[in-house]
A = this chain, B = another copy of it.
Amino acid sequence: MLRWNNDYNHGAHPEVLKALSEINDQHFGGYGFDEWCDAAKSEIKSHFGAQADRADIHFLAGGTQANLTVITAALRPIESVVCVEAGHINCHEAGSIEATGHKMLALKSEDGKVHAEALDAEAARFYFDETQEHLTQPKMVYISSPTEWGTLYSLAELKALREVCDKYGMYLFLDGARMGYGLTAPSGDVTLEDIAELADVFYIGGTKCGTMFGEAVVIMNDQLKKSFRFYMKQRGAVLAKGWLMGIQFYTLFKGGKNALYYTECRRAAEYAMELKAAFEAKGVKFAVDSPTNQQFVILHKDQLAALEKKHIVEYMDWVDEEHRIVRFCTAWSSRREDLDVLLADIAAM
């Protein structure tokens, strides 16, 4: 069987595993105070252009951990987070944000993105005067790019969000679990430097983009930097052997424009466009128009049954009794020969 259900079903990129193996016999200082974490931070910052010096970087093991640690560090108890209803923190993390004491204000959104006008309207509802003490204060906007639905913020959209955030004094937090597939999407126009300029805090996902595990939280806003490691410790997010993440991120990000992070994600993004075209050629409809590595197609149950003979996919909602939304993901680990099998099977379904 070939697995297309998600983008985290393989271990590490071979180069990453090799690097980990090569230093396995050496000893290091604990908790992220080691030379590989330092080197990884340098390499990551080298992608931030003019923003490099402003960045504080921390490595955490997973995405939910990154989200809840950033949010608990950033907000006071009366402050809330704006996100979309489909936001990962709103519906896929078991109430993790509320467990830190914060309310979420979930916006409706057709395409999984927070749009500037909707954000402005929501914020205005809370900030229209000084005596709204029965409400929370929306202080952070949480977005994912690519989103849960594979859609991607354009540079213009991010700038518009930044303006609304500045208007109300809100933080912009970008969850980049799949950032690599967005930065390299053929139709994308956003760079890491743009994100470093526009977001107050974001993270660069490793788990879905070439590492065994690990997410790099990048803090740009000075107000959010203070004592961040205390928050990590308190939430169980300081790994004893921090260098394990340092060496992995170093390996992914060294090499400037030719870094593995780009080359491996770009191939997957391109594979996804081939996949999309194959479904389009069959007249298949999409639940959403995604320019990145996740494709949400609406299959008739017979089409699905045909594909499932060789392919593992992810089930989403039923559209009607005969049609179901199904997710196909490509990833850094996707192989050309497997894709060709899938493309042929789509053509034949």
Contacts and interface: CB of A to CB of B under 8 A. Distances in A.
A230 interface: yes
B62 A239 contact: yes
B227 A78 contact: yes
Nearest to A233: B94
Contacts of A27: 3, 9-10, 333
A23 B12 CA distance: 10
For A9, A63, A94, A333, which residue has the most chain B Cβ atoms within 10 angstroms?
A94
Interface in A224-253: 227, 229-241, 244
Each complex incorporates copies of this chain amounting to: 4
Interface in A9-31: 9-12, 14, 17, 20-21, 23-30
The A contact surface, by secondary structure, is loop
Given A9-B28, A136-B94, A241-B213, A235 B234 contact: no
A11 B24 contact: yes
Interface stretch (A97-105, A113-121, A301-309, A339-347): A97-105
A94 B62 CA distance: 20
A221 interface: no
Contacts of A3: 27
Given A72-B77, A103-B98, A240-B207, A64 B233 contact: yes
A277 interface: no
A260 interface: no
B20 A240 contact: no
A212 interface: yes
A50 interface: no
A241 B206 CA distance: 12
A137 interface: yes
Contacts of A17: 20-21, 24
Contact of A230 (B69, B73, B94, B102): B94
A102 B12 CA distance: 36
Contacts of A64: 233, 236, 238
A68 interface: yes
For A27, A227, A237, which residue has the most chain B Cβ atoms within 10 angstroms?
A27
A230 B98 CA distance: 14
Interface string A71-105: 01100111010000000000111111011111110
